[in-house]
Structure 1
Amino acid sequence: MSTAYPPGPPVPRTVQTIFYARWRGAMLRAAARRYGDVFTLHLVPPYSENVVVFSRPEHIREIFAADPADLHAGEGNRLLVNIMGEHSLLLTDEDEHARARRLLMPAFVGSSLRGYRSLVDAIAKEHVDRWESGSTVHTLDRMNELTLDVIMQVVFGMTDERRRDQLAPRLRRIVNVNPIMFFGWKYPWLQQRGPWKRFDDNQNAINELLYSEIRERRAHPDVDARTDVLSRLLAAGSGENPTDAPLSDAELRDQLVTLLLAGHETTASALSWACHELAANPEIQAQARRAAHDGDEKYLEAVLKEAMRLHTVIAATGRKLTRDMTIGGIELPKGTVVSTSILLAHERTAAFPDALTFRPERFLEGEVAANTWLPFGGGVRRCIGAGFSLMEGTAVLREILTRYRLSLPAGTGSEPSKVRNITHIPANGAPVVVTAETVVPV
């Protein structure tokens, strides 16, 4: 097969890679304006070398519906192996991925989510109790603290405050890893130097804490009575498939770190964007506050979904072709990574009229078509924590909006975005002024 890829930016690979790592959104938008709905990026390791970007719904549907043996999502995510580990759900493919997903899924079904809700509510209340009326809250920092607490208690099941206090700052260092780290991991001689050695030391300390927790929980007599995700995984045995071996300690460690990264900063960023947009749009905020007081969680969920659409947290999903294939009518060789651009899909005016306007109602009026709203990916690789994230985010918004009115600090305008780790976050931390509100909106 010819290796003539669709056109893309003509600048050298190194330059493209720097822009992709630091200014991804601007680069993708510029390429889409010039080259249309399909274009190619040529990058250098640790990123995939040849990435063909798609954003049309029909192309995305074709990629998500393809045989997972032909498109390896795990191989497309290898950039994260030094953080998440070899067994991560995001980094495995075919039988290994299917087994891990079967064992993890029961912890995230509807009945399990309902069991977590009261603890999430309590954690949200505890954190929002610390806010002071009239103060400026940097919501990204506060939401990161809150969602990390949720991960440690609801997912890891850590009730020992001493161990939580030891683990929390080390987990934050993973979340805050600089993109330059990805480049250093390519060169073994860097592993014992500078930030790479500090990262490795931090990982070893995290592993020691997590493995200690796993050992103690395996030996704990009441593990079957606990409802946190780790306990559910330890009690799962062979799950729904009797041929599945239970998760080993190493696999559990990798899945816990994966759940941290996939479910911590992503949800925190989405919540901080939601707070920013509510503060910037008083009429929508008034409706959201009414919904919070009335228990209308569908509207609060719509607010969260619209924040995820307008401010895409994860820019894309990637899948590596294991054979020559034709996608979107384009012949592509084995080894190509096809990228479904979530960011560009969310900004398509054909799918989202007034795409740059914050309008939660679009999620309540049947406007959002399949393969257009993609914060959790799609197909067999759709994020298993999607329901958990929406439940958690809705609970946090309800706690905030029943107690405070949000406004932007004086002189604050639109909040820019920046890349941290692999996520897009509010560059200035999405500050809002919180004012205690005793009057229930009508």
Structure 2
Amino acid sequence: MTPPTPLLGARTLDRETARTLPPGPRLPTLAQTVLFAGHRTTFFPRMRARYGDVFTIRLVPTSRVVVVLSRPDHIREVFGTPPSIVHAGEGNTALKPIMGQHSLLLVDDDDHVRMRRQLMPAFNGHALRGYAEMIARLARADVEGWPVGMPFRLHERMRDLTLEVILQVVFGVTDSDRLEQLRPLVDKVVSVRPIIMLGGFYPRLLKLPPWRTYLRVQQQVDEILYDEIARRRTDPELAERNDVLSKLLAAGTWTDVELRDQLVTLLLAGHETTATSLAWAFHELARKPDQLKAGQQAADDGDDTYLDAIGKESLRLHPVVYQVGRRLTETTELAGYRLPRGTTLMAAMGLVHGDEQNFPEVHEFRPERFLGDNPPAPGTWIPFGGGTRRCIGAGFSLLEATEILRAALTRYDVRATTPKPEPAKPRNVTLVPANGCTLIATRRVSPPGR
């Protein structure tokens, strides 16, 4: 295994090199870290307005140098640079105690190529079509239980539903007793707080609460996952099973630990993010009668194209993942700068999505921008990253959103409790509606086919 690339930071950055970096704020590292962690949607735009499309910030640990990129052509440079030079795994170090060292998000070079190749069969078009009815069945069962005629927090419902999709469609757990055992434990695992991620940089913290408490719960989940993996390996009907875990076992050669790390990665990367993007989609539809009506018509007609466009526009207007990180393994020319080895790069998708030059009427919710003959320019809609590290679950996430939108919009009208949009607030690594997407659902009058 290749030794990790040392972070470029206070201990390794000399003054001469510092003068060649893109400009940036001179605030203390801790202040910049707090602004990044809790206020990046205002911090980053202000830094771009002051310093330009490429700017430098410094974050804990070790006052590491982070170069932020906000132009599509610069981000394409990063995504197009050989992966041996821009390590994404090393850029995700904070996730190691949570996802495990074999996670697809944490490996680079040959290990990443091998694991991605083994994951692909579970996420190709044929496999996705096989998951559609399973997701639709879970979605229909959940939305039938929505409160009618009274305010409720839809984000909480979406979190419960997307968790159920992970447990049954990804993990393949359908036994009611096992599900009852898993749900509260997994809910604690996915509710990871940002402070827990510091354990990736400071391993000694893992022996202390709250890190120790979190790892104890994680260990309980691991015991169940390892038991499921063992059962699945000996299942005589493995080839006929239609869940992600079974397809991974059928298509690749995995150790139990590698499989566990991929399952936890799919759980953490696919649960909160999908739930949040759906909450934002309903948040917008509840305030946009024309788009709501168009979405209901599409759901009635089986028009997946418009439902897919709703999901895409939600991801554009409300980026769930605001940026992705990479670490340079050698000194490289990027975005007009000669950036030294160990520099952390951040491709700020949120800045790209919020740029009027890329999306006219940038603050308006308009699913129609993803339809017709004039779609967004290449490299301007990048919620799942890009290049060889593009999120392998992108298709699964969009499929899940389409099926859940269909299940809800064929049954309900939705309206907000107030016309004023809910502001975003940080929750773990995502930005969620501050009031949980509070809305009121009422039964549609004689919906078609019912």
Q: TM-score, normalised by structure 2?
A: 0.93
CA, structure 1 residues 437+61, in 2 after alignment: closer, same or farther (shift >3 Å)? Answer: same
Give how far 1:277 is off: 0.1
Aligned residue for 1:12?
Answer: 28
Work out whether residues 290 and 440 of structure 1, in 8 Å CA contact, stay in contact via their aligned partners in 2: no
Aligned residue for 1:415?
Answer: 422
Aligned residue for 2:408?
Answer: 400
Q: Distance in 2 between matches of 1:186 and 1:308?
A: 30
Can you give the 5+ residue segments of structure 2 that lack an aligned partner in the other structure?
Answer: 1-15
Give how far 1:318 is off: 1.1
Aligned residue for 2:384?
Answer: 376
Structural mapping, 1:220-299, within 5 Å: 220-237=235-252, 246-299=253-306
Aligned residue for 2:3?
Answer: none
Aligned residue for 2:176?
Answer: 161
* Aligned residue pairs, count: 431
SS at match of 1:191: helix
SS at match of 2:319: coil
Deviation by residue 1:186-230 (Cα, 9 ceiling, x = unmatched): 445543332112101111111111111111111222111111110
Q: Does 1:124 align with 2:136?
A: no
Q: Does 1:304 align with 2:319?
A: no
Q: What is the one-letter code of the residue matched to 2:219?
A: N
Give how far 1:153 is off: 0.7
Work out whether residues 75 and 91 of structure 1, in 8 Å CA contact, stay in contact via their aligned partners in 2: yes
Work out whether residues 278 and 311 of structure 2, in 8 Å CA contact, stay in contact via their aligned partners in 1: yes
Give how far 1:27 is off: 1.1
Q: Distance in 1 between matches of 2:346 and 2:439?
A: 35
Give how far 1:374 is off: 0.8
CA, structure 1 residues 146+357, in 2 after alignment: closer, same or farther (shift >3 Å)? Answer: same
1:73 to 75, 88, 92: 88
Q: Does 1:325 align with 2:332?
A: yes
Q: Does 1:361 align with 2:368?
A: yes
Q: Does 1:43 align with 2:83?
A: no
1:201 to 210, 216, 219: 216
Which range is displaced more, 134-143 or 346-355? Answer: 134-143
Counting aligned pairs with the same residue, the percent is 49
Q: What is the one-letter code of the residue matched to 1:127?
A: D
Can you give the 5+ residue segments of structure 1 that lack an aligned partner in the other structure?
Answer: 238-245
Structural mapping, 1:133-148, within 5 Å: 133-148=148-163
Structural mapping, 1:417-432, within 5 Å: 417-432=424-439
Q: Distance in 2 between matches of 1:191 and 1:59?
A: 37
Give how far 1:175 is off: 2.0
Q: Distance in 1 between matches of 2:201 and 2:132?
A: 42
Aligned residue for 2:48?
Answer: 32
Aligned residue for 1:346?
Answer: 353
Q: Does 1:55 align with 2:91?
A: no
Q: Distance in 1 between matches of 2:183 and 2:23?
A: 45
Aligned residue for 1:240?
Answer: none
Deviation by residue 1:387-421 (Cα, 9 ceiling, x = unmatched): 11111100100110110001001x45211112222
Deviation by residue 1:90-130 (Cα, 9 ceiling, x = unmatched): 00001000000000000111111111111111000010011
Q: What is the one-letter code of the residue matched to 1:372?
A: T
SS at match of 2:442: strand
SS at match of 1:132: coil
Work out whether residues 175 and 421 of structure 1, in 8 Å CA contact, stay in contact via their aligned partners in 2: no
Deviation by residue 1:158-189 (Cα, 9 ceiling, x = unmatched): 01121122222222222222212223554455
SS at match of 2:56: strand
Q: TM-score, normalised by structure 1?
A: 0.95
Deviation by residue 1:133-166 (Cα, 9 ceiling, x = unmatched): 2022311110111111011111100011211222
Work out whether residues 322 and 334 of structure 1, in 8 Å CA contact, stay in contact via their aligned partners in 2: yes
